[in-house]
């Protein structure tokens, strides 16, 4: 079948949850009964869409539920469209389905890959610039082609263990239904489903700040009087016209302008774990951008400054992590511990953002950490996995594990483990290691060792 026909057929499957217009007129919330799937992935973000793609490509009937309007999560809706790191010390350590999608996004956008052949001066130089909305469209297309059934604007209300899987109650705009699955993968970024199901999660008392990603323009940096601008900036901070978090504290403001402000603002206490807390984070982020643009337009040479881009929500770095069968510690990460049940690599400096800003601590040359399957399995659970930033880890290890290439690799590993568990009528934690590695390699992942 041609790609066009495949997509037509796949879109029809994705829309299968819709009700007939007659029923919709009669009921405000349509109960669309119960549904069945093999693998259910909740959260279609950085890790979730890769988990769903892997499970479906391995032959499992897969459903992906996302509460937002598109796939990609923090990579797309959060505007963090510079995933990293796929390479370490001059060679590739993470590949597979995430890398395939990133490459395709760069190609279709006429972009360029960094030169990965040697370690960069700053790790950011090896992050790949992608077009977020295009990436979202591409992963959606790939999911439909793989047969993933997609449901946007939906989220679970409950998750109950059954004898051989899970039953979830899902609500969404204008609908409500129950769904049973054999394997459940929580890719919500905050282990929401693990919490709903009653397993232990952990979080810090004070979490890292969030950021509302935006980009400034409309001024010529070479025409600006840097000293005068710095004087006005410090005055604005002293007067309360600007807040320290708007620019991550006192700095050379002309440097902030040169970078267009991208990823240079902190929203304290940003928390995506409830609708109320995310609402507060979004409001705080937008108020910060308004303070900045009002101030910047008052500067000489910046009278025509513009907010050229601003995401629709504040991206959050940290909420809940699971308490897993295994927990990755800072020592494990920085020593490059090779876990017996390693399923993928992770590679990034320790990168904790706090009130003082962020000072990344690079790994020692040659170190490439690994992620064990046990860190994706909530302790005491069966038929349940997580992938993404809520991986079981201590705080410092998590500050590096949470980055996108690592999340994609964890997503692929979780999708493969779920699909194999179904094939072999077992739990993900008990799947045969060699079989799991073999399946991942078939789908172009790099498996440690």
**Interface with ligand FAD (CB under 6 A):** 42-48, 65-68, 73-75, 78, 80, 82-84, 127, 155, 187-189, 192, 210-211, 263, 315-317, 388-389, 402-404, 407
Residue with smallest beta-carbon separation from ligand FAD: 45
- Compare residues 203 and 297 and give the one whose CB is closer to ligand FAD: 203
- Compare residues 45 and 415 and give the one whose CB is closer to ligand FAD: 45
- Compare residues 213 and 299 and give the one whose CB is closer to ligand FAD: 213
Cβ 394 to ligand FAD shortest distance, Å: 16
DSSP codes of every residue in 361-396: BPPPTT---EEEGGGGSBTT-SSEEE-STTSSB-HH
In 278-337, the DSSP E strands lie at: 306-310, 321-322
Question: Is 60 within 8 Å of 314 (Cβ atoms)?
Answer: no
> Dihedrals φ, ψ of 235, to 5°?
-65, -40
- Compare residues 272 and 334 and give the one whose CB is closer to ligand FAD: 272
- Compare residues 116 and 297 and give the one whose CB is closer to ligand FAD: 116
Question: How many whole angstroms separate alpha carbon 440 and alpha carbon 412?
Answer: 8
Cβ 321 to ligand FAD shortest distance, Å: 10
- Compare residues 123 and 382 and give the one whose CB is closer to ligand FAD: 123
Cβ 127 to ligand FAD shortest distance, Å: 5
- Compare residues 201 and 317 and give the one whose CB is closer to ligand FAD: 317
Cβ 234 to ligand FAD shortest distance, Å: 25
154 beta partners: 172
Cβ 358 to ligand FAD shortest distance, Å: 10
Cβ 419 to ligand FAD shortest distance, Å: 19
Cβ 235 to ligand FAD shortest distance, Å: 28
Question: How many whole angstroms separate alpha carbon 377 and alpha carbon 235?
Answer: 51
- Compare residues 130 and 326 and give the one whose CB is closer to ligand FAD: 130
Cβ 255 to ligand FAD shortest distance, Å: 18
Question: What is the residue whose two structure tokens read 């937002």?
Answer: 68
Question: What is the residue whose two structure tokens read 């690592």?
Answer: 406
Cβ 432 to ligand FAD shortest distance, Å: 26
Cβ 87 to ligand FAD shortest distance, Å: 12
- Compare residues 219 and 285 and give the one whose CB is closer to ligand FAD: 285
Question: Is 81 within 8 Å of 129 (Cβ atoms)?
Answer: yes
- Compare residues 367 and 423 and give the one whose CB is closer to ligand FAD: 367
Cβ 25 to ligand FAD shortest distance, Å: 27
- Compare residues 125 and 424 and give the one whose CB is closer to ligand FAD: 125
Per-residue exposure over 74-93, b if at least 16 CB sit within 10 Å of its own CB, e if not:
bbbbbbbbbbbbbbbeeeeb
CA-CA-CA-CA dihedral for 36, 37, 39, 42, to nearest 10: -60
The tokens for 49 are: 């869409």
Tell me, rounded to whole angstroms, the distance of Cα 81 from its chain centroid: 10
Question: How many whole angstroms separate alpha carbon 148 and alpha carbon 434?
Answer: 26
Question: How many whole angstroms separate alpha carbon 181 and alpha carbon 37?
Answer: 5
Cβ 231 to ligand FAD shortest distance, Å: 29
Question: How many whole angstroms separate alpha carbon 346 and alpha carbon 231?
Answer: 43
Name 78's Cβ contacts closer than 8 Å, sequence gap at least 6: 213, 311, 313, 315, 316
Q: What angle do CA 276, 407, 289 make, to 5 degrees?
A: 45
Alpha carbon distances (Å) from 206 to 121, 161, 189, 330, 355 = 31, 32, 17, 18, 11
Question: Is 405 within 8 Å of 347 (Cβ atoms)?
Answer: yes
The tokens for 389 are: 């930033």
């Amino acid at each position: 079948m041609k790609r066009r026909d495949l997509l037509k057929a796949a879109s029809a499957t994705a829309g299968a949850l819709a009700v007939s217009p007659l029923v919709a007129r009669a009921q405000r919330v349509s109960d669309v009964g119960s549904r069945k799937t093999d693998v259910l992935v909740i959260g279609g973000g950085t890790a979730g869409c890769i988990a769903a793609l892997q499970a479906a490509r391995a032959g499992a009937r897969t459903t992906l539920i996302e509460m937002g309007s598109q796939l990609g999560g923090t990579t797309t809706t959060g505007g963090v469209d510079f995933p990293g790191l796929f390479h370490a010390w001059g060679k590739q350590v993470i590949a597979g389905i995430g890398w395939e999608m990133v490459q395709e996004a760069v190609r279709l956008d006429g972009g360029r890959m960094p030169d990965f052949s040697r370690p960069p001066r700053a790790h950011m130089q090896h992050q790949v610039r992608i077009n977020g909305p295009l990436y979202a469209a591409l992963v959606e297309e790939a999911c439909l082609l793989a047969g993933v059934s997609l449901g946007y604007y939906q989220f679970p209300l409950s998750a109950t263990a059954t004898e051989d899987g899970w039953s979830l109650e899902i609500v969404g705009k204008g609908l409500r239904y129950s769904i049973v699955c054999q394997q459940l993968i929580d890719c919500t970024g905050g282990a929401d489903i693990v919490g709903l199901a009653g397993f232990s999660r952990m979080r810090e008392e004070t979490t890292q700040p969030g950021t509302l990603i935006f980009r400034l323009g409309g001024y010529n940096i070479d025409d600006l009087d840097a000293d005068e601008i710095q004087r006005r900036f410090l005055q604005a901070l002293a007067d309360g016209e600007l807040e320290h978090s708007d620019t991550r504290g006192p700095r050379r403001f002309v440097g902030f302008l040169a970078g267009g402000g991208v990823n240079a603002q902190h929203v304290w206490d940003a928390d995506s774990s409830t609708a109320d807390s995310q609402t507060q984070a979004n409001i705080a982020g937008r108020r910060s951008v308004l303070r900045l643009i009002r101030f910047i337009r008052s500067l000489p040479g910046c009278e025509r400054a513009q907010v050229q881009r601003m995401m629709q929500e504040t991206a959050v770095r940290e909420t809940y992590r699971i308490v897993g069968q295994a927990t990755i510690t800072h020592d494990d990460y920085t020593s490059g511990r090779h876990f017996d049940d390693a399923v993928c690599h992770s590679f990034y400096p320790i990168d904790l953002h706090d009130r003082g800003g962020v000072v990344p601590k690079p790994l020692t040359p040659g170190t490439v950490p690994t992620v064990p399957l046990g860190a994706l399995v909530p302790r005491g659970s069966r038929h349940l996995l997580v992938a993404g930033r809520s991986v079981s880890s201590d705080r410092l290890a998590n500050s590096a594990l949470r980055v996108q290439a690592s999340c994609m690799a964890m997503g692929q590993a979780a999708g493969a483990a779920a699909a194999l568990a179904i094939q072999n009528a077992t739990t993900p934690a008990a799947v045969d290691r060699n079989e799991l590695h073999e399946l991942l390699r078939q789908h172009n992942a790099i498996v440690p060792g």
